[in-house]
A = this chain, B = another copy of it.
């Protein structure tokens, strides 16, 4: 089995870009990744997308002159991009292909209007559990337990939007105050609009191949996927906590980490502020129940002990579903190569990527991917 490294990454700009073709966005990402890896082609491609039309990947690749090689499109809800990354990793690890492209893409501005709605035939659909409402329930539970305050929720938004001031590819950024975040328009109580990821279009890509000594390739030290856990009514934890914790445990074991959360930075799935708080706890980056306090105290900010979402996260970069996981990978690769500019985590050696989502059927389609990457 091969040790696997990421030899190049690229992304489009992120934002509402209905006037740009999805293929053009994906071209931007693949061209940059190919140039970064100093390659002009690959042996196979895995593509992650949720709403991308059938054949979209092949059209992107033809535009780049990449034809005649296996292309497999995967869908795994918000984790589609990292699922493509995981499958590409597996193909290189086992020697099935030598050099593989993982590509994520989504054009939410044309695919969907408003919040993603669950299937009306599912129990959660009948209950009106669109995704903002689902996360709002988790936030309400945390508030009820005294595990977070409204101000701590808002602190995640303040932090990530400030991080994004240093990320020219992000959709939004800004120096907000906690009061401004709390005063912004209510979407699903207690989550205001500045606590929700925006509708976004974009693409991201990574080139994977066997690790080479002396190269600038970023090693994939451990990676894991879990899927399919339904709502667990018997768990004391809110939606998503258990699957993130269990997937992380698999990834940490694969990476041989000394302790859970023993990484220098993490890009996590902050589709909503409560999501980052629950996830930092589930990943073991902070003690159980300390997610909100850590955000408010700057522990998870750039310069803090456990920087989370230095890119600005989904809250700032935007959340083009299939692209998100690979945009997270790109950020961690830049960080581990010391190329993250004003948002650089100094001396970062180990970085974590976590993506967790439900499908349109939020309760059945839980999928989580966690990866630990290592500096060259």
Q: Which residues of A contact B (CB under 8 A)?
A: 21, 50-51, 53-55, 58-59, 61-62, 66-77, 83, 87, 90, 94, 96, 119, 121-122, 225-230, 358-361, 364-367
Contact = CB atoms under 8 A, between A and B. Distances in A.
A226 B58 CA distance: 12
Given A55-B365, A70-B226, 12 more contacts: A58-B361, A59-B361, A59-B364, A61-B228, A67-B228, A70-B225, A70-B227, A71-B367, A72-B87, A73-B74, A94-B94, A94-B96
A interface SS class: loop
10 contacts: A51-B54, A58-B361, A58-B364, A58-B365, A68-B226, A68-B227, A70-B227, A72-B76, A74-B74, A94-B96
A342 to B, nearest CB: 36
Contacts of A62: 228, 230, 364
Copies in the complex: 2
A59 B71 CA distance: 26
Nearest to A69: B228
Contact of A72 (B83, B94, B96): B83
A135 B107 CA distance: 32
Contacts of A69: 227-228
Nearest to A46: B74
A119 B63 CA distance: 15
Nearest to A122: B59
A263 to B, nearest CB: 23
Nearest to A47: B75
Nearest to A358: B55
A45 B258 CA distance: 32
Contact of A360 (B54, B67, B227, B360): B54
A214 to B, nearest CB: 28
Contact of A50 (B54, B72, B96, B121): B54
Contacts of A54: 50-51, 75, 77, 359-360, 365
B94 A58 contact: no
B119 A67 contact: no
A161 B207 CA distance: 48
A61 to B, nearest CB: 6
A345 B74 CA distance: 36
Nearest to A361: B55
A228 B76 contact: no
Nearest to A96: B90
A286 to B, nearest CB: 26
A81 to B, nearest CB: 13
A67 B361 contact: no
Contact of A70 (B50, B61, B119, B228): B228
Nearest to A228: B67
A358 to B, nearest CB: 7
Contacts of A68: 226-229
Nearest to A118: B55
Contacts of A73: 74-76
A25 to B, nearest CB: 14
A74 B57 CA distance: 12
Nearest to A73: B75
Given A122-B59, A360-B53, A74 B72 contact: yes
A59 B70 CA distance: 28
A55 B119 contact: yes
B230 A55 contact: no
Given A72-B87, A73-B75, A58 B225 contact: no
A226 B119 CA distance: 35
Contacts of A59: 119, 122, 361, 364-365
